[in-house]
């Protein structure tokens, strides 16, 4: 299966989380600070929000808690 991240295709395995798939793909900047600096998943258990992304228009989705679905459109989430 696959999904897009910031417009680029990412291959994924069924049952893994978005965060795991993005890390396996070597993505930097899963989310972004107010200044646009990259943030990466940290706790991997839903508490820090450093893995926040936008999924199919839904903002502030924690990628470490979200299973991959084929065809998802995922973007970095930026803190404003
Ligand atoms: S990595 Fe901390 S909430 Fe997802």
pLDDT-derived band at 79, boundaries 50, 70, 90 = confident
Alpha-helical (H) ranges within 1-80 are: 18-24
pLDDT average, residue stretch 14-33: 96
- CB–CB of 12/1 below 8 Å? yes
Atom of ligand 1 nearest to the CA of 52: 4
Note the pTM of the prediction, 2 decimals.
0.94
* pLDDT for position 77: 97
- pLDDT tops 90 at residue 80: no
Q: Is the CB of 59 under 6 A from ligand 1?
A: no
Name the fold adopted by 2-78. Ubiquitin-like (UB roll) (3.10.20)
- pLDDT tops 90 at residue 27: yes
Q: Are strands 52-55 and 38-39 parallel, antiparallel or unpaired?
A: unpaired
- CB–CB of 39/30 below 8 Å? yes
Separation CA 40–CA 44 (nearest Å): 10
- Candidate from 16, 39, 45 with most ligand 1 atoms within 8 A of CB, to mutate: 45
39 token code pair: 């943030």
Q: Is the CB of 49 under 6 A from ligand 1?
A: yes
Query: Taking all residues of the chain, what is their mean pLDDT, rounded to a whole number?
Result: 96
pLDDT average, residue stretch 59-67: 98
């Amino acid at each position: 299966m696959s999904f897009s991240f910031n417009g680029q295709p990412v291959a994924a395995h069924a049952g893994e989380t978005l965060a795991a798939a993005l890390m396996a793909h070597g993505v930097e900047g899963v989310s972004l600070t107010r200044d646009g600096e990259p943030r990466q998943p940290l706790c991997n258990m839903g508490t820090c929000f450093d893995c926040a992304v936008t999924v199919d228009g839904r903002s502030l989705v924690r990628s470490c808690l979200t299973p991959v679905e084929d065809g998802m459109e995922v973007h970095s989430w930026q803190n404003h």
